[in-house]
Chains A and B, each alone.
Chain A
């Protein structure tokens, strides 16, 4: 089975071949790993990756796999070939659309630093969101014009919710 994995905005090519009941060969960008996988409990795996033992706890949410690996948290998007094609079509459509400013974590909007119609340079601090008593600035990637503001100061927002939209400048 072939997959495309997206980790930290980078695409990686994976291929999983099942050798027998428990043994797999996994290729990560062409590097081959031999894996013995046992399901220990629901959402818990014991893996021997080239004989190195790893205890994995994980959670799957749609195509996103959240896992604890050596105490580090990874969120990896795993897409099979069909899903990858769908994703590509969608992202081509997205490219022409506005840049959507959002926050990865839920929080409270402290301040919206821009106004509707305002022209902003790349890397401008657009909005300040507070989570767990810490204030975080969220900046835009591209130059553009503020097209929509969906939130106001004091409002509680979910992770991933669109906060501000920025229309790219015409060429």
Chain B
């Protein structure tokens, strides 16, 4: 057994802090790195040691492998935890860790490479008997297309082989419109991409995004830790995740779990990983891709299983044998991603200084964040400032608890998507559990603040602002009389009360 003593974390923000917290519990020293805008960040303040990454470009800072290996050497770190993003799914980096005698807390570089190539991953999964969205090779003729469409089953999508971004794509719902769609798609592909090859894929109706967490040790033991439902997405970005998925029953959960374990086995996976599935309206499921890292939304799995995934990752990397006993699962957990953006103004990013902050507390609440009062949210990085996670006995309780926790969250100085998240949680379609990845787009209007709500809250907010200014003007007067000394309004108020006088 190779006990890890010091971990270098080439990452920032809440995930760097999240990893450090587990390290502290395990008496493992932590080494943080930081770029110029991050000197004040919580992950630097919390770490045992922190090293500067000069430069403005990501390639000079958080992606600067040479410098990171130099820091690992200088600090005497014996392992690296990459977090998510940045270098976490970089096979070269994982391989170089090994060459520098560092334990990479993650999968082997070969598995990262294999699953990184989406077409290769799809082929490998098909060979392993894992269901994938039915599709074809580039199509030769209309006759062949018609035959294959019958095989796959309507509705189908015809897509440009060289395409992307929705261009050169046609949805065909019935055989009568297949020929014209096939021809149109070829023309469009030819003019848009200079390549008129097209292929066909089954169109997944009411698609839901359901993923399974897996853990694999170095000795061939693989387990899954149930699913996470991630269908609430805005511009392909997840914003609310929950577990269990409202759409899965026990039988489906067992089958998908088994498939997830097989998928991990097929690529000789080790450490923590996630198998993403697409689930259609008829509850068929298809392999989408594998994420070869710890996921942003991992805390909801931790809440229902009681497992610390970062702790397991470290122990697996040390060589510990994983117990294959099925894990118990309890209650429902939900995560909201809080972003520094303005929901009333087209989700414009809202970086800046958080001048005041009150964060939620109380039963079943977990707040994974790197933000504190006085912290300046840098404009250089991702606008996610917090992951608010709740655990409840069941789904209705988790929803109510999340609404309560969001209400308790006060941040001043920046705008956040909290009012928007609350709208989603209160939407009948979300509450029913019958939602898919189209949810945000479909109910866009419902998720806006109504005019009546706006008028009501604005009046009270205006009154509050007027009183705040009024109290400050009293403070200024009081300050003048005591010789220009600045005294805060509340001290002033307290003094006035003691004196029994009304100003």
Binding site for B on A (CB under 8 A): 1, 3, 5, 7, 12, 14, 16, 18, 20-21, 24, 26, 28, 31, 33, 35, 37, 39-45, 47, 49, 52, 54-60, 63, 65-74, 76, 78, 80, 104-108, 131-134, 136, 159
User: Contacts of A20 on B, CB cut-off 8 Å?
Assistant: 502
Contact of A65 among B342, B416, B465 (CB under 8 A): B465
Contact of A59 among B351, B412, B458 (CB under 8 A): B412
User: Contacts of B356 on A, CB cut-off 8 Å?
Assistant: 43-44, 57-59, 68
**CB of B493 to closest CB in A, whole Å:** 5
User: Contacts of B489 on A, CB cut-off 8 Å?
Assistant: 39, 42
Contacts A71-B409, A105-B349; is A58 near B464 (CB within 8 Å)?
Answer: yes
**CB of A22 to closest CB in B, whole Å:** 9
CA separation between A106 and B356, bound complex, in Å? Answer: 19
B412 touches A132 (CB 8 A): no
B163 at the A interface (CB under 8 A): no
**20 additional A-B residue pairs with CB within 8 Å, beyond A40-B490, A57-B410, A132-B382:** A3-B469, A14-B463, A26-B462, A28-B459, A42-B489, A42-B490, A45-B464, A47-B467, A49-B463, A54-B460, A57-B356, A71-B406, A72-B461, A73-B412, A73-B414, A74-B458, A78-B465, A78-B466, A106-B351, A131-B351
Q: Can you list 10 contacts pairing A with B, beta carbon distance less than 8 Å?
A: A7-B461, A26-B463, A39-B490, A41-B490, A49-B464, A57-B357, A58-B468, A60-B468, A78-B466, A105-B350
Contact of B383 among A7, A21, A76, A132 (CB under 8 A): A132
Contacts A66-B412, A105-B350; is A134 near B383 (CB within 8 Å)?
Answer: yes
**CB of B390 to closest CB in A, whole Å:** 16
User: Contacts of B493 on A, CB cut-off 8 Å?
Assistant: 39
CA separation between A58 and B356, bound complex, in Å? Answer: 7
CA separation between A40 and B411, bound complex, in Å? Answer: 17
User: Contacts of B410 on A, CB cut-off 8 Å?
Assistant: 55, 57, 68, 71
CA separation between A28 and B456, bound complex, in Å? Answer: 11
Contact of B462 among A14, A73, A107, A108 (CB under 8 A): A14
10 tightest A-B CB contacts, nearest first? A39-B490, A132-B349, A26-B463, A65-B465, A69-B461, A132-B383, A76-B465, A71-B418, A68-B410, A59-B355
Question: 1/0 per residue B425-469: CB within 8 Å of A?
Answer: 000000000000000000000000100000001111111111111
A45 touches B468 (CB 8 A): yes
**CB of B384 to closest CB in A, whole Å:** 9
Q: Which of B398-414 contact A (CB under 8 A)?
A: 406-407, 409-414
Considering only CB atoms, which chain B residue lies closest to A3 in the complex?
A: B466
A159 touches B464 (CB 8 A): no
**CB of B463 to closest CB in A, whole Å:** 4
**CB of A93 to closest CB in B, whole Å:** 26
**CB of A38 to closest CB in B, whole Å:** 8
User: Contacts of A59 on B, CB cut-off 8 Å?
Assistant: 355-356, 412-413
B26 at the A interface (CB under 8 A): no
B119 at the A interface (CB under 8 A): no
CA separation between A62 and B457, bound complex, in Å? Answer: 23
CA separation between A121 and B422, bound complex, in Å? Answer: 40
Q: Identify the interface centre among B349, B350, B464: most chain A CB within 10 Å of its CB.
A: B464
**CB of A153 to closest CB in B, whole Å:** 14
Considering only CB atoms, which chain B residue lies closest to A107 in the complex?
A: B379
